[in-house]
Amino acid sequence: MFPEACVERTVEWVDTDASGHQHNSAIMRWVEAAEAELFRSLELPDYFPSAPRVQQVVNYKAKLWFGQRITATVKIQALGRTSLTMAFEVKSDDGDVAAYGTVTTVHVPNGTTTAQPWPEHVVRAIQGVPARE
């Protein structure tokens, strides 16, 4: 029902920690790259400056190593009046899920300090409804 997007990346040296596998922050960078791709595809450039994260849940299942290819996928899971929750998965090149979870954002327009309802054009784009003429 809701849109999704994915990006492919290679685990770079900078993405690893002293143990030799991905650093926990690398997962969220890849998820955020997929999120950016999703909102570019929806033609919603105004989403990012007004959508701070209020919750992130990450479940780690497998290690990713330097040089390995990954795919990060995000899918909008729920759209509320002021919030939006995306589910994500990061898979290794062999298809194993390395991490999964959710990210919740809220709409806080520039010049405000509290969550406000999503603008109609954002809701329509996420729901796949054509823009009004």
Supply the pTM of this predicted model.
0.92
Give tens-digit pLDDT for 33-83: 999 999 999 999 999 999 999 999 999 999 999 999 999 999 999 999 999
pLDDT of the residue at 131: 62
pLDDT of the residue at 18: 87
Q: What is the DSSP string of 19-71?
A: TSBB-HHHHHHHHHHHHHHHHHHTT-TTSGGG--EEEEEEEE-S--BTT-EEE
Residue 130 has pLDDT above 80, yes or no: no
Q: Which two tokens stand for residue 39?
A: 């909102």
Report the distance separating Cα 71 and Cα 90, nearest Å: 6
Report the distance separating Cα 34 and Cα 79, nearest Å: 18
Reported confidence tier of residue 1, pLDDT bands at 50, 70, 90: confident
Structural domains of the chain, ranges and CATH numbers in brackets = 4-126 (3.10.129.10)
Give tens-digit pLDDT for 88-114: 999 999 999 999 999 999 999 999 999
